Homo-oligomer: A and B are copies of this chain.
């Protein structure tokens, strides 16, 4: 049994997904794989987190979806970043950086 649990911080998933789609249209399953690979298996994105998140991002107009055939010959829903999705991503990254900076200030206080 793995004693490691890779729960992600609530609020970061959208940013990660949007960031992955910057690289070009990609289907949901592929997004999960990419996130896992790039994070060196730290994040193991569950499908119950992934798909609701994708629908949420699509509803908000940050991603648009299109059915295509994958390299493996199956149907896949390919997501690509919209213009406002790109702005949203930039905004989320800025917020993330300010936020981790503020957390760092607190964690750096000497004992």
Contact = CB atoms under 8 A, between A and B. Distances in A.
Interface string A1-31: 0000001111110011001101100000000
B105 A40 contact: yes
Contacts of A109: 19-20, 23, 38
A51 interface: no
Contacts of A93: 107
A37 to B, nearest CB: 10
A56 interface: no
Interface of A: 7-12, 15-16, 19-20, 22-23, 35, 38-40, 42-43, 93, 96, 98-103, 105-107, 109, 111
